[in-house]
Amino acid sequence: MSASPDPKAPCDLCSLPVGIKPFLLETPEKSLAFCCEGCKGIYEMLHQINKSPDPLADN
């Protein structure tokens, strides 16, 4: 389990502070932190990161 980033740490997309509840994304290379769900989603789209489907979603 990785430690939470410093609230003043820059967003990995827009460089604004990530705040006290950052949106985290674990990649094989590193852990990324974003200031909002929008920045996280844009990063995933730009880097073609596909989340695995939730196996319980069909139940």
pLDDT of residue 50: 80
Q: What is the mean pLDDT of each run of 10 residues along the chain (59 residues)?
A: 80 97 93 97 92 58
Does residue 27 contact residue 49 with C-beta atoms inside 8 Å? yes
Query: Domains plus CATH for the chain?
Result: 1-49 (2.30.170)
pLDDT of residue 5: 81
CA distances from 31 to 14, 17, 48, 56, 59 (A): 16, 16, 16, 25, 31
d(CA 3, CA 24): 11
d(CA 56, CA 41): 22
DSSP secondary structure letters along 34-59: ESSHHHHHHHHHHTT--PPPPTTTT-
